[in-house]
A and B are shown apart, each in its own frame.
Chain A
C-alpha cells in the first residue's frame, strides 16, 4: 500500500476578502477505496468547519459518486472541494473517454458500467442523479476521448461558515 499524501487543506488564493479552503484528492484508476476515503475525509473536514449536517452529507455524497465515476469510467483524475463562505464547489476533473451524451448519462438507470463492477453493486445508473439531487447547481463539461469536468455547487448560508477563515484543518 502506498502512502497517500494527497489531502492538502490550505488557505488557497484568498481572492479579495473571500477566504477559500481547498481539499484535494487524486483519484487513480481501479482504486475502489479512494471514493469512500475521500468522502469520509471531506465529511470530517466540513464537520470541523461547523457546516450544517445535511450540507456535509450532501457534499460527501457528491464526492463519493464523482470519485467512483472517475474510478469506473475514466483513466484518472482529481477532485477538489473548494470551500468559500458562501458556497462549496466540488470540482471533479478526469482524463478519460468522456461522456458522449450527457442528457442520457443523467437519466436514472442509464449505465455503461462493465459487468465486473455491476456484480459489486455499482452501475445502477444513479450516481449522476444523486449528485444532481445533492447540489444546487450542476455543470458537466466533457470532450469525448479527452475527459470530463463536473462542477457541483452547494450554496452556504454565510452564518454557518465563520470558521472557513481560520484555514486550519486536520483531516
Chain B
C-alpha cells in the first residue's frame, strides 16, 4: 500500500500536498524519543509522533521515513510543513490518538 492509499483509507489529513504519496509503506513506528526512532524505525515506514519541531525532519530523513503522522490534530507550524516539502518528507495529521492511529495503520498494512 502506498502513502496516498493509506491516507485515503484512514482519512488522514495530508499537510504536504503530493509529497511521497506514491511511496510504498512497509511499516510504522510510534515514539516521541528521537534516538529511539533512530535506533528502531525501519526505512519506508510511517512515524507517529507528537513532536512537531524541525528536528523531526532530520531524523525522518536520516532513517528514510516516508511520512510523519501527527495525532490529536495537534498544530503544525507552517515553517515545518514547508521545510518538510523541500526535504521530501510527508506530514499527515489525524484527530485520533497515537494508540488508535498505530492500530489502524498496523491493521491496514498487515491486511494489505
Contacting residues of chain A (96-121) with chain B, CB-CB under 8 angstroms: 120-121
B38 touches A64 (CB 8 A): yes
* CB of B83 to closest CB in A, whole Å: 10
List B contacts of A57 (CB < 8 A). Answer: 64
Which of chain A's residues 19-76 have a Cβ closer than 8 Å to chain B?
A: 32-33, 35-37, 39-40, 43, 57, 60-61, 64-65
Partner of A121 from B34, B39, B64 at Cβ < 8 Å: B34
- Least CB distance, A5 to chain B, in whole angstroms: 20
Pair count A-B, CB < 8 A: 62
Task: Tell me, yes or no, whether A166 is within 8 Å of chain B by CB.
Answer: no
Give Cα A37 to B56, complex, Å.
Answer: 12
A124 proximal to B (CB < 8 A)? yes
Contacts A60-B62, A121-B32, A121-B33 given; does A33 touch B39 at CB 8 Å: no
Return B80 CB to nearest CB of chain A, in Å. 12
Contact of B39 among A37, A39, A130 (CB under 8 A): A130
A76 to B99 alpha-carbon distance, docked (Å): 39
Given A120-B51, A120-B53, A133-B39, the answer on whether A64 and B33 have CB atoms closer than 8 Å is no
Mark each residue of chain B from 94 to 110: 1 if its CB lies under 8 Å from any CB of chain A, else 0: 00000000000000000
